[in-house]
Amino acid sequence: MQQIYIHGPRHAEAILNDTCVELACVVDSSPAAEAVAEKLKCPLFKSVQVMLASSHRPDAALVCTPNHSHVPISKELLEGGLHVLCEKPISVDVASGQKLVLNRETHNRHLLIGHHRRFNRYVVTTKKLLPSLGQIVPVNGVWTIYKPPEYFDSPTEWRRLATAGVVLINLSHEIDILHHLFEPIIRVFAEKSASQRGHAAEEGAAITLRLKNGIVDTFLVSDAVVSPHNFESGTGGNPTIPKVGQDFYRIFGSSASLSVPQMMKWTHPDGVNTWNSRPHYEILEVPEMKIPFKLQIEHFVKVIRGEEKPSCSGIEGLRAVLVCEAIRKSMQDNLPVDISVD
């Protein structure tokens, strides 16, 4: 049985009933952590150093802290000999993320990045359906929602900073899904939307992306508008956001198109593609699966045991940050930005 230290209640819930993994402890210096540790019935440590020196030293750790702390905490854990599953994004910039990936290689420990939507049943089903669509040509994506003022209040006021923002916090998920479903992104162009809150963190953008295999993608992102068109509302993937079921991805192929999460697949009758015939649609089944956090933990354990290869390695997590950084540069310079896939 693998032992894991954790900083993050939602991840803890995914661990508690898993027979393959044991929650070893919580590491958190905040006063509120005492109540969390008591509820989880596990030891609490105020720092990683104290935890590593204790008898509760685990095999692996989950890092679920503010974005800017991901690199130093993950680095300390890797150097302490632990395998690490770090919440996305891997870092707030490419340079520090690269150092963390090199640190993982130096200490020969696994570093996985928590892009848990790779384990969402709608994403899993969509990936399986892609070959039936023929050659994918354009893709359209939307992540639009309204975050209330309290989202930016203490103790998460770091969300107002330039190191946060909707691109790194939310769009990074969507970028990773595009990489997971298709190919790496090699060029971006982004127009920044107007700010309503006045925070340093950006609120949204209209973006075009070109993928390595020639697919072009348009994406709208905003966390300051009223809208049901986002991953959470569409899939019910976040229990605090009501499921509405409206689409957030439209994938257009030479043989068919697919709307997600309705899983509505459009084709022409008899396979004859012409605008003169009425297209036919069918609603495809999406099998039930365990919650993504639980599947991600199970995968993490199998990676540690050598039974599976990482679904989202440190390098894959870094790819998403690289694209987000390019999007921000494009918004600033009002120019397209090319991205190396090496």
Strand 44-45 and strand 21-27: the pairing is: parallel
Residue 134, classed as helix, strand or coil, is coil
Instruction: Name the phi and psi angles at 17, rounded to 5.
Output: -100, 15
pLDDT of res. 5: 47
pLDDT of res. 104: 85
Sheet holding 44-45, edge to edge: 44-45, 21-27, 2-6, 60-63, 83-87, 111-114
Q: Could you give the domains of the chain?
A: 2-114 (3.40.50.720), 119-287+333-338 (3.30.360.10)
pLDDT averages per 10-residue partition of the chain, 342 residues = 53 69 88 86 92 91 90 96 94 93 88 96 98 97 97 92 91 96 97 94 97 97 97 93 96 97 93 86 96 93 95 95 96 96 76
Ranges assigned E (strand) in 174-322? 185-192, 204-211, 216-222, 249-253, 257-260, 264-267, 280-283
- The 3-state secondary structure of 225-256, one letter per residue: CCCCCCHHHHHCCCCCCCCCCCCCEEEEECCC
Given a contact cutoff of 8 angstroms between Cβ atoms, the answer to whether 261 and 247 are in contact is yes
> What pTM did the predictor assign?
0.90
